[in-house]
Amino acid sequence: MKTIAAPTLAQWLLDPERAAPLLLDVREPWEFQICSIAGSRLVPMRTLPAQVGEFDPEQPVVCVCHHGNRSAQVGMWLWRHGFTDVYNLSGGVDAWARQIDPQMATY
């Protein structure tokens, strides 16, 4: 698993030449309602094992949470389960809000 900074992810999402990642938001629904990165898919950490079969293990995955701790755990779990291109968003949505989207709500 690799780590990705918010500015690097923002550039990636704007790059039409690069395959779009699955933005896997592993927070709880109440957190997702407060804020999220556009295009993110909410899959709370506790539900991931039941839903992992829905994801393409060859597609890049960027794991997202509030500050990057839960998403790091999920990223390692995905990597151990055969996902080959996994990233953890360093600082989570909090870093995204502070560095990329200052209009995004924080908590």
Catalytic one of 23, 65, 89, 93: 65
Helices (H), the chain: 6-14, 29-34, 48-51, 69-80, 92-99
Any bridge partners for residue 2, and if so which? Answer: 87
35 is catalytic: no
C-beta separation of 96 from 63 below 8 A? no
Positions marked active-site:
65
